[in-house]
A and B are shown apart, each in its own frame.
Chain A
């Protein structure tokens, strides 16, 4: 019986392959996500591991705050000397290398005078002692290490890409204005070819200290004498260390370094797997539908098997076996395609400005196991209802023409309504409670969306006839007899049309949701920025969100036409155990370029802000239970404390807040925070672009633009995000396209005799083609008619919940029209092959077909 089932599958191999395609893409996405993230993970692993391969212990400044601009505390030269003299120490060396913090950065400047790296990837500036090669994670590829004050070694990838050679000069900007250096060599970080878009500039220790404005070292690497374990060395060192420093074994330090990256990688993995999941979900619909149709078409064959003594269990097993084989085949193809897709995803991220480090691709066991298992399980589950239906084929169907499978009472529509009800309740819970963002409510939202889609798919058969009546109007008007027949064909088996359309509905609903939400967010970002910024011009870093040298603000003030330039400093500080964003402002001028919304206090209070006064955000005041006049202590990333008194309380918008929890004067900021940098310099007056560019020529990382341009640039990340989501969701739309293709192929096959009859009574080939095409377009439009409103409803609920962030509901009409047209095109594409087949039928043979 197993053999019979497999033979049957082999005989219907085209159909089997078409069915399999539905699951291939989803599995490819899953496998691709794993390969990509495993590869990135391996690249980082080798970066971090090679950093400490010959190091027994690593001494570094304690990390007090996350995401600091100024960087952690450093460790001093005298500490290095002390460590060197310790009895258990074989050798020790200091270096300025910090892969996670922001203190060791230097921007390389291309021949065009612009920063080589401007899209947010790291621009590392390191200082190393080449005489201590055992501790040096960098590998020299050509030339020599930097020794003099004007020498630099750059990474070989950048040298190659931007045609720099040993002996050339290159501009470098770190914490001050740019300077010119002579390239004396090229190097790589360990054995990693590319750090994923990151650039390296490697200097001698004194040069790096001067450029980066750092005292001492960011790390001291220590090697133990033979016979001394790294554990012993670490406890020895602990006794020597000041409060601001810490010591770890090389291995611990590598793991610590990996932590941040690991959570980033697992986020990317989860994100991509989510889309794989959606594609598999859509694929499940397609499998369900295709197998339902094939089972229906094989009624007579299945019934014959029953009359020959096959039990229901055998029938069930044979259909399940069929979906198992299809699933296995599809998963295997998907798995391998995923290897290619991983490269595609990597380029997709690259195109969106997120270059990821490269290593040779990693094919881990879990990639194989999870991809194959997921594909097979989804296919078998989706095929289970059709398989059960197959067992209900009565043996008498073998002799009785047109016998239909006995249906248990149709539960679909009722179950659909119930599911939709539950879904609505879940979504209401998630969006009306005012706590969207909590894990529970996001889960409720996702679950609600999923159940809602299933629910609509459940009662869609009831709607199909009415919907086809509406969306079929153009077909009937323009398509003539063929168009009318197409509408009839689309409605003759509503369940089939509904589940075909439902697959497309899922993709369209999600795309619509994303588009509506995106438009709402866009509006809220624009409004929040316009509300805050009162300047004519805004200076930001090249990427718009990291910080730039404070000196650039002073330089911009000197541009002709500038009447006022007010800089906002930015870093993170620590209060108690919590981290908070701290900004510095010019008390005298800030109110002319930034609009405060006061809860307590006023612009006047601000103007009088002294070195110990602080403005705090309302949420911050609430969290730390602070009122005006209360004092609190803030510590900088380097551990330096400052005692502050609350002078006023303000409330920035909830999105795109340009000022953080604590705002102090720039004087106080510069006294407290190491290496102060600006997040923004706001300018009043009427300077020209050329004038500002000239004034900022020494600061390649500073970018002046008008307020309008600034606002547009800031919200452009939403468009980038939307495009990424569209591309990833397109995958599930393609899956549903295969579903439409399948249904049409099978319908045309099923109606062979009928098509022959129509041809015999005078239907032209063209009309036959048109009939199939119109049916396909009608199905696609039913999908759109179900999906668009569903997406809009979901987005309406979510925008309502986000109302307090200034997100408003607004329909992106142009996008919705594009989606509808895209659905129609999908319909036309899916119909190409089936329509050809229908038009090429030999009339005589078709009539004799049974």
Chain B
């Protein structure tokens, strides 16, 4: 483990008695009204443990995306509460949410969402640029090393492969050392070989940097890298597995109702 990561770990030790990175309590989300109302989430409670990778699985319509959007403060629950780093976020004003995002949240998207006019490096440090901060040189170099983009730093997204683009996106999510990183189907737009590389990178960031991560996926192989897998069905947590094998995941998927 290198110095920076060690420092990070030390910091985590200090806040060990503080609340979990993310906690949700009885979160429900209803879309629409009256007869056409759809309940996407029907009371989900969970805690995301620090320095662990939590995967959320479920079929489409299970509510897994809605859950992640609400956990990340992108969407509002109809009822229930969500805390990030001990802060209740469902009632936050837009400006406070913005501050929260800068400090505590990193995002990795299915479609990468890189800015086409910026180079890989510029995309990587964008959250700091937006917050008006300068990246520490050593930290940036380490990050570029670990995502394997040292020789691509001056390339633009259009000159990078899908896998490389997602690496840039991961670097971007890690650069501000967020309390929690949300990954939304990070391998959903990649072939299987590239997917494996990206998953390995996500796992490594948890192990080496202690990065708390929540990953939504419907890919059974993706779930196997998680410390814990939550299975969502019909807007509720149907099952929870710790460090499951791929076979266990596939079994769980078939077991859970609504498939």
Contacts and interface: CB of A to CB of B under 8 A. Distances in A.
Contacts of B172: 308
B1 interface: no
A4 B118 contact: yes
Q: Which of A7, A308, A850 has the most CB of B within 10 A?
A: A308
Interface string B92-117: 00110011011001010111010111
A7 B122 CA distance: 11
Contacts of A304: 109, 113, 115
A601 interface: no
B126 interface: yes
B141 interface: no
A300 B172 CA distance: 17
A352 interface: no
Contacts of A10: 117
Q: Which of A8, A304, A306, A850 has the most CB of B within 10 A?
A: A304
Nearest to A310: B130
B75 interface: yes
Contacts of A309: 98-99, 101-102, 127, 130-131, 176
Interface string A302-327: 00111111111010000000000000
Interface in B173-198: 176, 184
Contact of B129 (A4, A11, A395, A396): A4
A395 B109 CA distance: 12
Nearest to A305: B130
Interface residues of A, number: 25
Contacts of B127: 308-309
Given A308-B126, A399-B69, A399-B74, A7 B107 contact: no
Nearest to B126: A308
Contacts of A301: 113, 115
B98 A300 contact: no
Nearest to B127: A308
A3 interface: yes
Interface in B102-157: 102, 105, 107, 109-111, 113, 115-118, 122, 126-127, 129-132
Interface in A1-20: 1, 3-4, 7-8, 10-11
Given A312-B94, A395-B74, A396-B69, A1 B113 contact: no
Nearest to A12: B117
A428 B221 CA distance: 75
Contact of A398 (B107, B126, B131): B107
Nearest to A300: B113
B130 A307 contact: no
A288 B109 CA distance: 32
Nearest to B69: A396
Contacts of B116: 11
Contacts of B131: 309
Contacts, number: 73
A252 to B, nearest CB: 62
The dominant DSSP class at the A interface is helix
B170 to A, nearest CB: 13
Contacts of B107: 307-308, 398
Contacts of A399: 65, 69, 74, 109-110, 184
A92 to B, nearest CB: 76
A298 to B, nearest CB: 10
Nearest to B98: A311
Interface string B65-99: 10001000011000000000000000000110011
A310 B111 contact: no
A4 B75 CA distance: 26
Interface size class of B (residues with CB under 8 A): 20 to 34
A8 B75 contact: no
B64 to A, nearest CB: 12
A305 B114 CA distance: 10
Contact of A307 (B74, B75, B94, B176): B74
Contacts of B129: 1, 3-4
Contacts of A1: 129-130, 132
A221 B126 CA distance: 77
Interface string B190-229: 0000000000000000000000000000000000000000
Contacts of A7: 115, 117-118, 122
Contact of B126 (A4, A395, A396): A4
B117 A307 contact: no
Given A7-B118, A308-B101, A396 B75 contact: yes
Contacts of A3: 129
Contacts of B109: 304, 398-399
Nearest to B101: A309
B190 to A, nearest CB: 15
Contacts of B126: 4, 305, 308
B98 A850 contact: no
Nearest to A10: B117
A3 B126 CA distance: 11
A850 B117 contact: no
Contacts of A306: 98, 101
Q: Which of A8, A11, A310 has the most CB of B within 10 A?
A: A310
B76 to A, nearest CB: 10
A380 to B, nearest CB: 22
A11 B115 CA distance: 10
A388 B217 CA distance: 35
B103 to A, nearest CB: 8
Interface string A273-317: 000000000000000000000000000110011111111101000
B168 to A, nearest CB: 13
Q: Which of B102, B110, B129 has the most CB of A within 10 A?
A: B129
Given A4-B118, A307-B74, A307-B101, A398 B130 contact: no
Nearest to A401: B111
B74 A396 contact: yes
A4 B101 contact: no
Contacts of B105: 307
A308 B176 CA distance: 10
Contact of B117 (A8, A395, A396): A8
B130 A314 contact: yes
Interface string A379-405: 000000000000000111011000000
A11 B117 contact: yes
Contacts of B122: 7
Nearest to B132: A1
A1 B129 CA distance: 6
Q: Which of A312, A395, A398 has the most CB of B within 10 A?
A: A395
A398 B68 CA distance: 13
B130 to A, nearest CB: 5
Nearest to A6: B117
B112 to A, nearest CB: 9
Contacts of B69: 396, 399
A398 B107 CA distance: 10
A11 B122 CA distance: 15
Nearest to A11: B117
17 contacts: A7-B117, A301-B115, A305-B130, A307-B107, A308-B126, A308-B127, A308-B130, A308-B172, A309-B99, A309-B102, A310-B130, A311-B95, A311-B98, A312-B95, A394-B74, A398-B109, A850-B111
Given A11-B117, A394-B74, 8 more contacts: A3-B129, A8-B115, A8-B117, A301-B113, A305-B130, A309-B98, A395-B74, A395-B101
